[in-house]
Chains A and B, each alone.
Chain A
Amino acid sequence: MKLVSLGLLGVLVVAAGQAGDSRITEPSWPPARAKFSDIQGCVEPTEVMRKDHMRFLFHQRDRTVHQGIRTERHSLVGCVDCHSGEDQNGKPIPINAAGQFCQSCHAYAGVNMDCFQCHATTPPLQTSASYFPTKIAKPMTVMTLAALPANAWYLSCDG
């Protein structure tokens, strides 16, 4: 077990060393369309979302499919609605296209995502009013930027 931990640490150190390597394209994506609240960008604090967004999505999908709960806070439609980019003509770009919100980070992390084999990759055709996260009024815990390492790559990309 100790050996495995040491090995893992080694991998992490190497990964950290490469983070500043110019050969690796750092992820970047179009800015989100709205802020969740005055104090918080996304539906949960950004550092929580970066680590745990899939847990929120898994939880929400089961609640939606099996219990018919269609609240918008953790819905995938909400993510796509707020985070997808547009081309010069205002046409939405699929969120899993190269350089877009989901894909750029997943490519960087080397993690496959299956969501969009079935789910729509662009916002709903009709107005997004019913999905827009700003509808949710409850303010969340304050995101503390100070808690993040100052050189974190994601601080330069305001998602």
Chain B
Amino acid sequence: MADNSNRLQPGRRQFLSKAAATATLLALAPGVRLVDLARARAEDEPVTAAVRWGMLIDTTKCAQGCDACVRACDTEFGLTTSDRPEIDAHYIRKLDIRDEHTGKTYSLPMLCQHCEHPPCVDVCPTGASFRRADGMVLVDKHTCIGCRYCMMACPYKARSFIHEELTTQLSHAPRGKGTVESCTFCAHRVDRGQMPACVESCAAEGHHAMVFGDVNDASSEIGKRVRQVPSRQVRADLNLNTAVRYEGL
């Protein structure tokens, strides 16, 4: 632990210099704090494995019929529907599932699980599918050739392929025909210290079913919860060590 705290010293210095800015941020969004402030990364520093982003989803709080997270995601990334809805891209889906023995029903969002050992990365022939040092599993669309091996490899059906030319892309979310894409854990927002869009919308709806943060940090909300409350990985038998975990499932 002593080593850890030494490594994080530069971050603490930065915390002091950014104290004023942070005060404004906290005033804008009380209670919403993405990372322990001591760990804030400078804008021009690469991400490191000291952080592992993760998400904990409480299925007992996830409301059946609510799709706020899906809509927020669509808006954030400019995912539009077409006249062929079967080919629409989806980064996050709402699933209603039922235990066939007990009849108990569950409602939960299913998204890229940001595995520690992602099958999509294993099968990618060009290295476009990769795992960022801080645990986000992403597609480098500059090198993606659209072979869709990753879509077949993913046990969670998390990835989508863009079949048609697009013209309405957003500045922060480049998307184009012939490439595969999936949930990015809102890397563009997280890199700027914001929460992913789905988590924000879930909280705004009053459900608070999704918690996002650094699972390596035992003092963060998610860090505490995963250490104290039982949670499950979907298809834990595959030993992928997913970053998305479910409570009450």
Contacts and interface: CB of A to CB of B under 8 A. Distances in A.
Interface stretch (B24-32, B102-110, B187-195): B187-195
Interface string A39-76: 00000000000000000000001010111111100000
A117 B176 contact: yes
Interface string A103-147: 000000000000001111001110000010000000000000000
The 10 closest A-B CB pairs, nearest first, are A118-B176, A67-B46, A124-B171, A118-B174, A68-B47, A120-B171, A117-B176, A119-B174, A68-B191, A120-B169
B177 A65 contact: no
Nearest to B134: A68
Interface in B7-48: 41, 43-47
A82 interface: no
B138 interface: yes
Given A68-B187, A118-B141, A119-B169, 18 more contacts: A65-B138, A65-B140, A66-B140, A67-B132, A68-B46, A69-B43, A69-B44, A69-B46, A70-B192, A117-B177, A118-B175, A118-B179, A123-B171, A124-B170, A124-B171, A124-B172, A125-B170, A131-B171
B132 A118 contact: no
A61 B227 CA distance: 36
A80 interface: yes
Interface of B: 41, 43-47, 130, 132-134, 138, 140-142, 165-166, 169-172, 174-177, 179, 187-188, 191-192
A65 B45 CA distance: 13
A66 B132 contact: yes
Contacts of B174: 118-120
B171 A66 contact: no
Nearest to A75: B171
29 contacts: A61-B142, A65-B138, A65-B140, A65-B142, A66-B140, A67-B46, A67-B133, A68-B47, A68-B134, A68-B191, A69-B43, A69-B46, A70-B188, A70-B191, A71-B44, A77-B171, A77-B172, A117-B165, A117-B176, A117-B177, A118-B174, A118-B175, A119-B174, A120-B171, A120-B174, A124-B170, A124-B171, A124-B172, A125-B171
A68 B41 CA distance: 10
Nearest to B169: A120
Contacts of A80: 171
Contacts of A63: 46
Interface string A77-108: 10010000000000000000000000000000
Contact of A66 (B130, B165, B170, B192): B130
A67 B172 contact: no
Interface of A: 61, 63, 65-71, 77, 80, 117-120, 123-125, 131
A140 B14 CA distance: 25
Nearest to A119: B174
Contacts of B132: 66-68
A70 B141 contact: no
A63 B177 CA distance: 23
Contacts of A69: 43-46
Nearest to B46: A67
A45 to B, nearest CB: 21
A66 B46 CA distance: 8
A119 B175 CA distance: 7
